[in-house]
Chains A and B, each alone.
Chain A
C-alpha cells in the first residue's frame, strides 16, 4: 500500500478492495517500522485511529459514506489543534497551543472520512526552512540519510514521501509547505491567502500564514484542497468567494496557456542541477502546448523584505509570552529571530502592510496581463546535510535560512497560489522541484499545470528505498 496515491486508496476502499482498518493498520505498522529513524511524527494516535477506522468500516458495511476521503489515513502538522491531543508547535511544551475548537481543516477532512494518524514534526514555532528540531528530533530526508527534510512542515513532507500517511496538512508563512515538499520529492500547495481557513492552527504571522495540502501527486492535493477550501466563520480572513471544482479541470492540458519563466532573481545563485531540472520541466510543459517564455518580474527581494518585516513583527507579538517567560526553552536561532521582531517599530510594521498592498496590486496587474502562470525554482539547491541547518552561530544559521527560502517568501507576501512539483533528482539522489504560481484564487490553473506535468513524467512515481 505504500505505493498508493490517496486518490487510488480512496477508490480501492470504496470498491471494497481494502478496508479502512487494513489501510490504517498498514500505515501504523509502517510508522512503527520507519519513524524511529525518519522522525516524521511527534504524536501517533494509534488507538483513536483504529477506533475511527473500525467505525468507518462499519458505516461502509451499512452503505453509509462520509465523503471522498472515507477511510483514508492522514496526518496533521503539530500546530493544528485537535482536542484530546497535545499541540506542541514544535516547542518543548507538549501543550503549547490550545484553541477553542478543533482546527477547521482537520474538522473538514475528518468529516469527509479521513482517519487521523497523529501529529507531525515541524520546525520549532514553524520558524525555519530546514526541518531541524532539537526538542523532537530532526526530521530526516527519506531520500538520503542525514540530509534536511525541509521545513517548517518537515514531518508532513516526510510522512507523505515515505508512505507513512497518504497525505498531510502543512502551513506556509515563508515557504513552509513548498520547501519541504521540494526537499522530499512530493507535491505541496500554498493556496491563495484566505482560500483555506487558518482557524485552529497556531499563527506565526496572521498576514502571511497559509494552510495547505501535501501529498505525492497533484491530483491528491486537488482532492484535499477541495475538502479544505472555503469560507469559515471562525476565520475572518477566509474568503467568501465560491470554491470551484478543482478536479474538474485536471486532465484538461495546458495547450495555449501562457507560462512565464522569470529572467531575474530566481535563477541567481541557483545550483546547476536544480537549474537544469527546472528548465527541463519548462521544456516539458512547452512540449505539451503551453506558450513558455521568459519575462522580468517586479523585484521579488523587495516583497521578501516587506514580508519579513510583517512576519517577524507578528511572530514576536504572538510568541512574546514564551520569549519573556521561558526564553531558555527556545532554540537559539528561533530566539534570535523572535528578538529581531521585537525591535521593529509599529510605524515600520504598518508601513510594510501598506506597501504590501501596493506591491501586490502592481505585481498581479503587470504579470498576469502577460502570462497565466509563473514557473520558477522552489529551493536554491537540493536538501543540504543536516549539519548545514544545525551547526554555527545563531545569526549564521538565520542567514542560511533566509537564503534557502528566498524563492518562496515573496509569494507569501503576494498571497498568490504556489504549487511545488518534483521534477527529478540530483546526482546525489536528492529531489529537485519547480513551483507554479498563479493568479489569486486560480488554484485550478496552477493544479492543471502541475497535473499535466505529472501525466507526462514519472518523477512522482518514484519511491525512496526505506524497507
Chain B
C-alpha cells in the first residue's frame, strides 16, 4: 500500500488553491479579521448602538 503518493497530490492541490486565492490579498488582511467579521455579523440587539 503506497500511503505517501496520494497525500502528496492532495497537499499539492490544496496549496494550489491557496496560492491562487492569496494572490490579491491586501496588506491589511490579517487573520484577526475573522473574529471581527463574526462580531460584525451578529444579529442586532434592540437598543444597542452598532
Which residues of chain B have C-beta atoms less than 8 A from A337's C-beta? 7
CB within 8 A of A364: which of B7, B21, B37?
B37
CB within 8 A of B17: which of A305, A343, A399, A439?
A305
Tell me the smallest distance from the CB of B25 to a CB of chain A, in Å: 5
CB-CB nearest 4 A-B residue pairs: A395-B6, A364-B41, A357-B33, A353-B31
Within 8 A of B (CB), among A331-389: 332, 335-337, 339-340, 343-345, 348, 350-358, 360-361, 364-365, 368
Q: How far is the CA of A360 from the CA of B33 in the complex (A)?
A: 9
Which residues of chain B have C-beta atoms less than 8 A from A399's C-beta? 6
Does A164 reach chain B (CB closer than 8 Å)? no
Assess the B31–A393 pair: CB atoms within 8 A: no
Which residues of chain B have C-beta atoms less than 8 A from A360's C-beta? 34, 37-38
Tell me the smallest distance from the CB of B44 to a CB of chain A, in Å: 10
Q: How far is the CA of A353 from the CA of B32 in the complex (A)?
A: 9
Name A's B-contacting residues (CB within 8 A).
192-194, 239, 241, 302, 305-306, 308-309, 332, 335-337, 339-340, 343-345, 348, 350-358, 360-361, 364-365, 368, 393-395, 398-399, 415, 439-442, 444-445
Which residues of chain B have C-beta atoms less than 8 A from A356's C-beta? 31, 34
Within 8 A of A (CB), among B9-50: 10-11, 14-15, 17-19, 21-22, 25, 29-43
**For chain A, what secondary structure do more than half of its interface residues adopt (helix, strand, loop), or is it mixed?**
helix
Assess the A357–B37 pair: CB atoms within 8 A: yes
CB within 8 A of A194: which of B4, B15, B38?
B38
Q: Most A CB atoms within 10 A — which of B15, B38, B39, B42?
A: B38
Q: How far is the CA of A340 from the CA of B7 in the complex (A)?
A: 6
Which residues of chain B have C-beta atoms less than 8 A from A442's C-beta? 42-43
Closest-by-CB residue of B relative to A350 is B31
Q: List 13 A-B contacts (CB under 8 A).
A: A239-B38, A306-B18, A306-B21, A344-B15, A351-B21, A353-B31, A354-B30, A355-B18, A355-B22, A358-B25, A393-B3, A395-B2, A440-B38
Q: How far is the CA of A140 from the CA of B3 in the complex (A)?
A: 28
Which residues of chain B have C-beta atoms less than 8 A from A348's C-beta? 14-15, 18-19
Assess the B7–A336 pair: CB atoms within 8 A: yes
Assess the B18–A361 pair: CB atoms within 8 A: no
CB within 8 A of A354: which of B6, B11, B25, B43?
B25
Tell me the smallest distance from the CB of B1 to a CB of chain A, in Å: 5
Which residues of chain A have C-beta atoms less than 8 A from B30's C-beta? 354, 357
Closest-by-CB residue of A relative to B38 is A440
Tell me the smallest distance from the CB of A417 to a CB of chain B, in Å: 10
CB within 8 A of A393: which of B1, B8, B15, B42?
B1
Tell me the smallest distance from the CB of A192 to a CB of chain B, in Å: 6
Assess the A354–B31 pair: CB atoms within 8 A: yes
Which residues of chain A have C-beta atoms less than 8 A from B3's C-beta? 332, 335-336, 339, 393-395
Assess the B29–A440 pair: CB atoms within 8 A: no
